[in-house]
Amino acid sequence: MFGFVARRLLYLVPVLVAVSLLTFLIASLLPGDLAYVILGDQATPDKVAALRHDMGLDQPIWWRYLSWLGHVLEGDFGRSFRTGQTVLQAVSERLPVSLELMFLAELGALAIGIPLAIACAVRSGSAFDRFMTGSAFSMLSMPAFLSAILLIYLFAVELRWLPATGYVPFEEDPIGNLRCFVLPALTLALGEWPVLMRVLRSDMIATLQEDYIAMARAKGLKPSRILLVHALKPSSLTLVTVTGINIGRLIGGTVIVESVFALPGIGRLLLGAIYTRDLVILQGVVLFVACGYVLMNFIVDMLYAVLDPRIRHGHA
Amino acid sequence: MTVAIRARKPAQIFFATVFGVALFAAPANAQKQGGSITVGLELDIPGFDPLKVGVFDTSAETAAAAIFDTLTTLDDKGEPQPKLALSWTHSDDFKTWTFKLRPGVKFQDGTPFNAAAVKANFDRQKDPANKCRCAFYISFINDVQAPDELTLVYNLKDPSVNLPAILTLQSSNNVVQSPTAWQTKGDDYNRNPVGTGPYILKSWTAGDRMVLERNPDYWNKGHPHLDRIVLKPLPDAQSRFASLQSGEADIVWDDEADADSIQKAQTDPKLTVHSYAGSGASVYAFNTKVAPFDDVRVRQAVVMAIDRKKMSQALTNGMSRPATNPYGDGSWVKCTDDGALPNDIEKAKALIKDYGKPVDFKMIVTATPRGRTVGQILQQFWKNIGANMEIEQIDQASVVPRAFMRQFQLTPWRIVDLADPDPQMYANFHTGSPVALANYSNPELDALLEHARTTADTGKRIEDYCAVSRLINKEAIWFWTFQNTYYALSSARLKGLPKIYGGVIDVSDVWLE
């Protein structure tokens, strides 16, 4: 097991180097010179040249990458030129919001997706199954900004049950905190559950045709026990993968959802950095998100090993 | 839209006449004390230290209006009135201005407010070593002197007949910050600002909320009225309006691009639409040194092809107010003849025909939904007269450098709402200015601009500026599409909001009914 973990960790190194390089290139190759952005309407050529020199923008790109990477390895991700905040400060202020949002969204998606998947798998081919599969497909094609606005109009403007926008810190008011996350998490969950449901449904249908399930039925075990204990675990391998990958997608989803619901998370930080050309923050956040994604995949790999002993024992 | 407003006018006059007497009889001090409001702004505020953020955007200016004071303030008629300064005088050439300051005022950290504090603010921004982006906007001021505790002298490089009005905007240049605070807090000062204003910053969560509480020692006794103001960035226009409807926000920023919400709010008795028809306009500059715009006929034809009414209908359900000069309804410059070219397709076609060569050109538009739509509409207008425009979408931040380097044929620009036309008109049209984008030089135009900035008599200045407008319209070196209109939508209970000068929603003296 230790060897397996160590090997997986080693694979991460080249991936992270590639991620950092791509991050840097994307940020550097964006149109619009940073010096012009900072100087705005007073970008005279001599001022631009002086600022480019100060910021090291006149150095070759590979040199800028290496020096940035060097600073990153020392834990210095740089400072926003707009606010003077360090990237670490900005990210750590906003990370809890996004993590809570993603956690609740994923929880919501699983809570909707798993029971529906089991129900569909049991009655596969029935009218209920066809209806759910169909509606899952239509939910999947609904963009987050649309479902967000619809939810706001229904629950905040018409019914007034939940706030339309805003954030309440957990330590200030735990109930208020959960209330402000209901609609954003639901918006994200609405886009996620169909995927989880469809994946689990098809795996489950296959599992239910296995001999050992027939055996369990023959032994006279309760159907609910067969479904939840004997069939769910072996069917959930793809579900775990998809859930892991979904977390990456969710980070993308948070950009939209956090803007619509005015939540102060990583997504908003990223969007603000793009609008204001705050490249230092942009690079830092993208690198951070990419690392999170890679790490998530690593955890999924580890979970495989837990779920399926064959992987753990070196057949992978 | 226009029709609806016109229809309402007679009713307003009727009510004003009938109940006017009753209104005057009501007690003058109807403002209620206490309560709290939430303000929905468009953008995250990056901070308040001019050395860090350079210039404030309008969201930051809304907060700055509550935390800080300026020397002067604009009244409802657009005239400068005392705030931190009590009175002012000027030299005959308008190059020296002397302000007498209000005694007994203290910053929120206890530092005394005096002439030395204002001078320290100015010197810090002006110091070349600090490389403040804000320095550009005070380049017309040579230095500020503090001969005694409460006397402040501005020595200007260029004359300014309207300096007290120009100092009213709550910009990073004009708000007075506590020198002790920035010296002791260092890097942290940016997010922990200290002023003399009616509200004190209590807490600030990045990207979420800024909580301001009543300054109990505010120099203006009886003010402010509210106990607390919460400022929140609500970036999405639709959910911002939904927050107002659901009562989570009491007042929100808005603009014409969100015409649906504004029109909905106009019919909602629980909401009030505050709008201010400001000066300035959305404008476009031709590069007159590059073909085909080196020929005045082509420029005139292109301008004559624009049907602003149709354009307004397509862009904002007709809410945008067409502009025929760079000053706008909010400016004190009113022209009986501004020389605007008519919308005349036939004449435009004739001018193009007279020019005799095919008219093909590129126009810069910002890569935003609004920019693209504007580009497409103009493209259609110009197709009608046989001119072929190619849209070049570029990033908003790149428009400025392209304009500065004159790498364009036609570029969008903006004249913002300022208390006096001089700073922008001089910069945009005087020969040799970096933002004289049209690359156009005319001694007559220069003379008019120079005369207008050194003349005190408003009537004479209006004559000058109207002559400037006629000249620019005739030569068609720039054109204007729509005037600036600024919007705030609020709960009907919120009272006392002043005009949205410069696009700044100043909630520092509002109250709840």
Q: What is the pLDDT of residues A52-109, one digit of tens each?
A: 888 778 888 888 888 888 888 888 888 887 777 889 988 998 999 999 999 999 999 9
Residue B27 has pLDDT above 70, yes or no: no
Chain B, nearest residue to A257 by Cα: B236
A198 contacts chain B (CB < 8 A)? no
pLDDT over 90 percentage in chain B: 78
pLDDT value for B413: 93
3-class secondary-structure state, position A236: coil
Residue B10 has pLDDT above 60, yes or no: no
Which candidate from B46, B249, B397 shows the least CB-CB separation from A277?
A: B397
User: CA-based angle B329:B333:B334, to the nearest 5?
Assistant: 65
Q: A274 contacts in B (CB within 8 Å)? A: none
Average pLDDT over residues B202-216: 92
Nearest CA distance, B6 vs chain A (angstrom): 31
A148 contacts chain B (CB < 8 A)? yes
Cis bond upstream, residue A60 (ω within 30): no
Q: Where are the beta strands (DSSP E) in B42-192?
A: 72-74, 80-82, 85-90, 96-101, 141-148, 151-156
Residue B11 has pLDDT above 70, yes or no: no
| Yes or no, beta carbons of A90 and B233 under 8 Å apart | no
Place of tokens 């969100």: B258
Please indicate whether residue A237 or residue B33 has the higher confidence score (pLDDT). Answer: B33
Mutate to test the interface with A, among B42, B44, B396, B411 (most CBs of A within 10 A): B44
Distance CA(B19)–CA(B31), nearest Å, equals: 20
Q: B54 contacts in A (CB within 8 Å)? A: 38, 40
pLDDT value for A316: 41
Distance CA(B324)–CA(B338), nearest Å, equals: 7
| Yes or no, beta carbons of B207 and A264 under 8 Å apart | yes
**How many CB pairs below 8 Å do chains A and B form together?**
132
Nearest CA distance, B248 vs chain A (angstrom): 7
Nearest CA distance, A49 vs chain B (angstrom): 13
Cis bond upstream, residue B224 (ω within 30): yes
Check if the beta carbon of residue B397 is closer than 8 Å to that of residue A277.
yes
Q: B44-48, B81-85, B395-399, B498-502: lowest mean pLDDT where?
A: B395-399
Confidence of residue B7 (pLDDT cuts 50, 70, 90): very low
Nearest CA distance, A213 vs chain B (angstrom): 50
Place of tokens 């923008």: A57
Distance CA(A117)–CA(A204), nearest Å, equals: 8
Q: Which helix (H) or strand (E) holds A145?
A: helix A144-151
pLDDT value for B20: 39
Give the amino acid at B113: F
Tell me: the pLDDT tens digits for B81-123?
A: 999 999 999 999 999 999 999 999 999 999 999 999 999 999 9
Check if the beta carbon of residue B257 is closer than 8 Å to that of residue B237.
yes
- Please give the ipTM for the structure prediction: 0.81
Tell me: the pLDDT tens digits for A269-283?
A: 988 888 777 888 888
CA B286 to chain centre: 23
Residue B489's beta-bridge partner residues? B252, B273
Check if the beta carbon of residue A151 is closer than 8 Å to that of residue A231.
no
Tell me: the pLDDT tens digits for A186-232?
A: 999 998 999 999 999 999 998 888 888 888 888 888 888 888 888 88
Restricting to A residues 46-105, those with a Cβ less than 8 Å away from any Cβ of B are 48, 80, 82-85, 90, 93-94
Nearest CA distance, B249 vs chain A (angstrom): 9
A156 contacts chain B (CB < 8 A)? yes
Alpha helical stretches, state H, B322-457:
345-355, 369-384, 396-404, 422-429, 443-453
Q: A233-237, B180-184, B274-278: lowest mean pLDDT where?
A: A233-237
The structure tokens listed for B314 are 């397509």
| Yes or no, beta carbons of B238 and A261 under 8 Å apart | no
CA atoms within 13 Å, Cβ hemisphere of A136: 23
Residue A234 has pLDDT above 60, yes or no: yes
CA-nearest of A155, A150, A153 to A181 is A155
What secondary structure letter does DSSP report for B322?
B
Restricting to A residues 168-197, those with a Cβ less than 8 Å away from any Cβ of B are 169
pLDDT value for A313: 63
Q: B428 contacts in A (CB within 8 Å)? A: none
Give the amino acid at A133: T
Which candidate from A38, A149, A259 shows the least CB-CB separation from B235?
A: A259
| Yes or no, beta carbons of B55 and A40 under 8 Å apart | yes
Confidence of residue A242 (pLDDT cuts 50, 70, 90): confident
Tell me: the pLDDT tens digits for B233-244?
A: 998 899 999 999
Confidence of residue B29 (pLDDT cuts 50, 70, 90): low
Structure pTM?
0.85
A273 contacts chain B (CB < 8 A)? no
Q: Give the mean pLDDT of chain A.
A: 85
pLDDT value for A100: 93
| Yes or no, beta carbons of A152 and B242 under 8 Å apart | yes
Distance CA(A94)–CA(B311), nearest Å, equals: 42
pLDDT value for B478: 97
Average pLDDT over residues A155-164: 90
Confidence of residue B489 (pLDDT cuts 50, 70, 90): very high
Place of tokens 């390089």: A21
Confidence of residue A15 (pLDDT cuts 50, 70, 90): confident
Residue B14 has pLDDT above 60, yes or no: no
**A174-208 and A87-122 are packed helices; what angle lies between their axes, rounded to 10 degrees?**
40
Nearest CA distance, B93 vs chain A (angstrom): 28
Residue B75 has pLDDT above 80, yes or no: yes
Phi/psi of residue B415, each to 5°?
-110, 115
A261 contacts chain B (CB < 8 A)? yes
Which candidate from A40, A94, A260 shows the least CB-CB separation from B207?
A: A94
Q: A274-283, B358-367, B378-387, B447-456: lowest mean pLDDT where?
A: A274-283
Distance CA(B273)–CA(B263), nearest Å, equals: 9
B393 contacts chain A (CB < 8 A)? no
Distance CA(B35)–CA(B29), nearest Å, equals: 17
pLDDT value for B6: 37
